Amino acid sequence: MEHTYLILEDGGCYIGTGVGAPAPYAKDIAKHTIDSAPCGEVVFNTTMGAYHEILTDPSYAGQMVVMTCPHIGNYGSEKGWDEMAQTVPPCRGLIVRDLYDGPVPPGRTGLPQTMDLWGMSGITEVDTRSLTIHIREHGACYGVLVRSSDIMGERESVTAWLRTCPPMATRDFIAEVGTLVTEVYDPKDPIGLRFALVDYGVKQSIVRALVERGVCVTVVPATTTALELLSLKPPVDAVFLSNGPGDPAVLQNAIQEIAKLVGRLPILGICLGHQLIGHAIGGRTSKHKFGHHGGNHPVRENGTGRVFVTAQNHGYCVEPDSLPPETEVWFVNANDGTLEGLYDESRKVMSVQFHPEAAPGPRDARYLFDRFIAFAKGESH
């Protein structure tokens, strides 16, 4: 009998039922490239819902998402929830225990039907608890979805194919998720501030959060140089570096351009933008074993001791001991102590690793957009 399987690079094999676009046959996998197969780094997300926002988050380019919540899809999908600017998500696949395929509220489509429209492959009826434990113990690795009626005879050829895939640390996904043209978003009630938002794969809710607060946002391509940013007309009050996928250390051109801006304009960042700021001021980043992905990650604000529950989606972190002495560690992760935010008044930089826009929630950290705006105005931390 034919089944759909998730095969991991380290030899792990999980049986299930295919959903969305059909996976390729295992015997034909050698005919595919990493980009033509449902293949990516397998990571788990601990959010209870918000699956539509997660799947459309550009930061998941090159990755497959395991939802640890066992029941997914019960309220359907709606295009208005898209976090991507593209029509098709860059996420490479969805892995769930139980995918709901029943009635949904009027005006919405079921998640399986939405995946069909996207051309995204997925797998359900998987033991996601076992898979999550495997990732926690062995770390994130490549996986691919395949169909087979004789997986025992074909499993080794699939894992051998996976080992030929280029390492995640060498891949640059920015070109496929960021804008290629400059776009301007004007607020209804402007407060007199204009931000240049460098798009490495920005979530649309970040743009909305700024515009709702009266900021005029000029979204520019990731290839925009420091000189071009400083020459924008009308001039901008701050540069905002967006979230995005992949290893920040790969983006050397971006790091060099950001370094040219340090101290000249306020620079703000979220997630990948935060990591790029870390590099630009002389720091370094390292890869997590399995990353932080989910809507229930606590962070502690140094100085006040306040703890916020946050949404996160990243596989890399800035190493605090690599930063200049003047740079303040603003937030730390309350679970593992990793750096979650930095602040340097002398260099005019402020950034956070987590996602204060709360899409998906929680909303504890939304106030940080007001802090960003105050910082851009020159108000002290």
Same domain for 42 and 151: yes
Residue type, 371: R
Tens digit of each residue's pLDDT (9 = 90 or more) over 58-116: 999 999 999 999 999 999 999 999 999 999 999 999 999 999 999 999 999 999 999 99
**Domain match, 161 and 193 both:** no
Give the Cα separation of 197 and 217 in Å (integer): 7
Q: How far apart are alpha carbons 40 and 165 in whole angstroms?
A: 9
pLDDT (average), residues 262-276: 98
> Residue 381 pLDDT more than 90?
no
CB atoms within 10 A of CB 233: 5
Read off the pLDDT of residues 5-21 as tens digits, 9 standing for 90 and up: 999 999 999 999 999 99
Look at residue 362 in the predicted model and tell me its pLDDT.
82
Residue 181 has pLDDT above 90, yes or no: yes
48 and 149 in a single domain? The answer is yes
**Domain limits at 259?**
174-376
Give me the mean pLDDT over the 248-277 stretch. 98
Q: What is the pLDDT of residue 312?
A: 95
3-class DSSP state for residue 255? helix
| Domain end position, chosen among 113, 130, 165 | 165
- Give the residue from 114, 131, 165 where a domain finishes: 165
- 335 shares its domain with 277: yes
pLDDT tens by residue, 197-231: 999 999 999 999 999 999 999 999 999 999 999 99
Say which DSSP state 49 is in. Answer: S
In the prediction, which pLDDT does 185 show?
98
Cα 299 to its chain centre, rounded Å, is: 18
Q: How does residue 1 score in pLDDT terms, banded at 50, 70 and 90?
A: confident
Asked if the structure places residue 381 within a domain, the reply is no
Looking at the DSSP assignment, which residues form a beta bridge with residue 8?
A: 143
First to last CA, the chain: 63
In a domain? residue 35: yes
User: What gap in Å lies between CA 40 and CA 61, rounded to an integer?
Assistant: 8
Domain CATH number, residue 131 = 3.50.30.20
Residue 187 has pLDDT above 80, yes or no: yes
| Beta strand pairing call for 71-72 and 39-45 | unpaired
Asked if pLDDT for residue 380 goes beyond 80, the answer is no
Do 159 and 253 lie in one domain? The reply is no
C-alpha distances out from residue 111 to 44, 60, 77, 129, 206, Å: 18, 18, 6, 21, 24
Domain count, the chain: 2
Same domain flag for 266 and 138: no
- Reply yes or no on whether the pLDDT at 360 is more than 80: no
Res. 134: pLDDT tops 80: yes
Catalytic site residues? 271, 355, 357
pLDDT in tens, 333-344: 999 999 999 999
Cα Rg of the chain (Å, integer)? 21
